[in-house]
Amino acid sequence: MLTSVVALVDLRKNRDSPVREAIDLIGGIDDLNNEQREAVIKVGVFGVNTPHYSTVGIVQDIVNAFNKSPKVYLAESDNYQGAALDRLQIWKELFTDRVQPYDLSRDPDTFKLRVENPIRDVVLQLSKIILKPRAFICTHVLRSYHKGSILKNLFGLPPSPKKAQYHKNEVFYNLLTQLYKTIGGIDLSILDGSRFCHHMDSLPTDLIAVGRDPVAVETVGAILASLKLSKHETIKAFTEKGYGVSDIDKIDIVGESFDEMKERCEKTLLQLKKRFSERPKPWSPTGALSKLISSGFFVSPNRRTIGDIESALIEEDPRAEGRSQIIYTNLQRRVKKGILMSEKTDDSVVFWKI
């Protein structure tokens, strides 16, 4: 028996009101969109330099779908890429008296959540704005990232910019599932596939997936992104808790043909992988020094100064210029491992290999 509904809408056919169309396909949201309930839209924006966040057009359409809500908040927290309010400026043209940016990292009205996990004490002070009775809407992009999109977006609720401290698997999956339970779930999920994001690149796929079951939406998105569900630990963690449906045979996909949208995404992913393979590899001090060592450059009686080493690396690859500090750090690591020897002189440090 089908237990969850996910709507697929082709943006090449409907760019004016795709979210509204998807909502109609899944049966409406009258219980969410009314004069008694404010709405919080958790937009997922890691950084502003790559378009790996829901477009202004899609977020505008989400806002329009909540036309009866007295207030609509676009919510985000700080991360190491920047302050929440700075990153939310992506959608500044949508801001009005009714539609406002909301900083989850500086809300004085908070509650405490202790995240149960086997390795460390994790206590969060979370903004109360994410709690019911407000409707909680989650939007993120279609991407080939094994830790998720819609469900992973909950990772942006903790206020600390130092979110790397929660990345260990023993904490990460418990954090997401406990956040979900604490806020009373995600009421509406919009996976924005305007573009398919792969690594730091993206190409248009022009679709959205929308549903009331975030696990089902995540599952559909994972399949569209050619991810293996058997290795998708985020989906597995939520399914084990009973928070949604991840069996594709029990998800009613309405609207556009799932097979056709999947084929479109597969072709786009092939293009993205090809572009990624053709990119020049970034300069690596570790690789560059390994190559220099293998060439015999450091073999005694040669004793190489920092200047000698930098000159040799720049001659091999001009991208080594201006990397003095990282080159020196990598040299010191080789010394500690016994790969190289070093000695201070009056005006430099010399390195050699016995």
Do 50 and 98 lie in one domain? The reply is yes
Provide the edge-to-edge strand list for the sheet that holds 341-344: 304-305, 349-352, 341-344
Which of 83, 66, 196 lies closest to 134, judged by CA? 66
Phi, psi (deg, nearest 5) at residue 339: -75, -40
Contact 213/244 with Cβ under 8 angstroms?
yes
Calpha distance 54→202 (Å, rounded):
13
Measured in residues, the chain has a length of: 354
In order, the DSSP letters of 175-188 are: HHHHHHHHTT--SE
Do 274 and 293 lie in one domain? The reply is no
Do 88 and 208 lie in one domain? The reply is yes
Amino acid 48: pLDDT: 87
Q: What's the one-letter identity of residue 151?
A: L
Other beta carbons within 10 angstroms of residue 88's beta carbon come to 22
Q: Beta strands 341-344 and 349-352: pairing type?
A: antiparallel
Q: What are the C-alpha distances in Å from 63 to residues 56, 66, 210?
A: 10, 5, 14
Do 92 and 156 lie in one domain? The reply is yes
In order, the DSSP letters of 34-94 are: STT--EEEEE--S-SSS--S--HHHHHHHHHHTTT-S-EEEEE--BTTB-HHHHGGGGGGG
Q: Cα-atom radius of gyration of the chain, to the nearest Å?
A: 25
Contact 7/254 with Cβ under 8 angstroms?
yes
Provide the number of structural domains found in the chain.
Answer: 2
Calpha distance 63→54 (Å, rounded):
13
Other beta carbons within 10 angstroms of residue 179's beta carbon come to 21
- Of 230, 258, 278, which marks where a domain is finished? 278
For the chain, the straight-line distance linking the first and the last C-alpha, in angstroms and rounded, comes to: 71
Amino acid 335: pLDDT: 94
Q: Which DSSP category does 318 fall into?
A: G
Which of 107, 96, 101, 110 lies closest to 40, judged by CA? 101
Q: Note down the domain range covering 348.
A: 285-352
Do 329 and 185 lie in one domain? The reply is no
Amino acid 1: pLDDT: 37
Walk along the chain (354 residues) and give the pLDDT tens digit of each residue: 346 999 999 999 988 999 999 999 999 999 999 999 999 999 999 988 888 999 999 999 999 999 999 999 999 999 988 999 999 999 999 999 999 999 999 999 999 999 999 999 999 999 999 999 999 999 999 999 999 999 999 999 999 999 989 999 999 999 999 999 999 999 999 999 999 999 889 999 999 999 999 999 999 999 999 999 999 999 999 999 999 999 999 999 999 999 999 999 999 999 999 999 998 888 999 999 999 999 999 998 889 998 899 989 998 888 898 899 999 999 999 999 999 999 998 888 999 998
- Of 219, 244, 278, which marks where a domain is finished? 278
Q: Which DSSP category does 165 fall into?
A: G
Q: What's the one-letter identity of residue 134?
A: R
Residue with tokens 């248009």: 204
Residues 6+ apart with CB under 8 A from 164: 80
Amino acid 3: pLDDT: 62
Do 253 and 302 lie in one domain? The reply is no
Report residue 248 as tokens: 């594709």
Contact 212/53 with Cβ under 8 angstroms?
no
- Of 278, 305, 330, which marks where a domain is finished? 278
CATH of the domain at 184: 3.40.50
Do 253 and 303 lie in one domain? The reply is no
Do 245 and 297 lie in one domain? The reply is no
Do 88 and 153 lie in one domain? The reply is yes
CATH of the domain at 323: 1.10.10
The residues that bridge with 6 in the sheet, in sequence order, are 211, 253
The kind and range of the H/E element at 235 are helix 233-240
Do 178 and 290 lie in one domain? The reply is no
Do 253 and 289 lie in one domain? The reply is no
Calpha distance 90→82 (Å, rounded):
13
Do 258 and 316 lie in one domain? The reply is no
